[in-house]
């Protein structure tokens, strides 16, 4: 990355970069307006009454609304046992290797491919000694209804399970490997749309056995989130519909 700032045009997302205090940021220059490090300031958005916090996953997602902007801000945090020690700090090995920059660029590729995933707005990192902290801004999807929440509300029709499978299959057809596909980052749209969220540590690679591993992870998640729900929300029949549609896509 050019520390003085650079612009790379690809499809309808124009990658630009610029240095900030103790770090750097990437942003989509095609969105217009001046790229501002204050975009990542949750308190500033809150003071303007333009933010809504939603707990979930390893941290808190903030929905930002200001005029025509409908963005989602996520701060990177660790999971598992290491979270107690490092929380939101990651070892710095170069700007292009930061979690936020890598995910932003993957989302840019997905946007170019026309896949149903959030469009990237901006990403940043800030160094703190040998560590860094990171944030990601994306355009808000048309729906917030996750598969987990939909199942908590009621059973899904057979065609919905097939639509979810076809969506995942589209990503796999392009070699897109989701690192943590679960019932909380599959989003159901208002009609037949299905979206995938959270591509942290995701990548594009040659198709292979990893596709079955991604599906197996999702299946385990579905078993977990429906364990205490009424019968009929998820089982072998629903999973077969999803898996078959995925492999045919």
Just list the catalytic residues. 180
Q: 61-73 in b/e burial notation, b at 16+ Cβ within 10 A? A: bbbbeeeeeebbb
| 3-state DSSP assignment of residue 17 | strand
The four Cα atoms 183, 186, 191, 192 give a dihedral, to 10 degrees, of: -100
Tell me if 34 sits within 8 A of 47, measured CB to CB.
Answer: no
Kindly report the length of the chain. Answer: 249
Q: How many CA atoms lie within 13 A of 4 on its CB side?
A: 0
- Angle ∠(38,40,42) on CA atoms, nearest 5: 100
The tokens for 63 are: 């929905």
Sign of CA dihedral 179, 169, 105, 147: negative
Q: How many other CB atoms sit within 10 Å of the CB of residue 30?
A: 13
Structural element, H or E, at residue 78: none
């Amino acid at each position: 990355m050019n520390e003085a700032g650079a612009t790379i045009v690809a499809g309808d997302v124009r990658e630009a970069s610029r240095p900030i205090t103790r770090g750097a940021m990437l942003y989509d220059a095609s969105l217009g307006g001046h790229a501002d490090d204050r975009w990542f300031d949750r308190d500033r958005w809150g003071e303007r009454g333009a933010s809504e916090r939603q707990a979930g996953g390893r941290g808190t997602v903030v929905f930002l609304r200001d005029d025509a902007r409908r963005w989602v801000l996520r701060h990177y945090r660790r999971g598992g046992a290491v979270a107690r020690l490092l929380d939101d700090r990651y070892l710095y090995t170069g700007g292009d290797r930061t979690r936020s920059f890598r995910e932003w660029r993957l989302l840019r590729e997905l946007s170019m491919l026309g896949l149903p995933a959030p469009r990237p707005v901006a990403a940043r990192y800030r160094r703190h000694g040998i560590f860094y902290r990171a944030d990601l801004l994306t355009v808000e999807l048309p729906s917030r209804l996750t598969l987990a929440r939909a199942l908590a509300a009621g059973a899904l029709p057979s065609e919905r399970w097939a639509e979810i499978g076809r969506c995942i299959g589209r990503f796999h057809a392009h070699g897109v490997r989701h690192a943590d596909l679960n019932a909380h980052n599959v989003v159901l749209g208002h009609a037949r749309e299905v979206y995938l969220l959270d591509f942290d540590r995701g990548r594009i690679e040659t198709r292979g056995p990893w596709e079955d591993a991604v599906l197996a992870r999702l299946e385990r998640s579905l078993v977990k989130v429906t364990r205490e729900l009424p019968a009929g929300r998820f089982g072998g029949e629903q999973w077969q519909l999803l898996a078959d549609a995925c492999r045919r896509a």
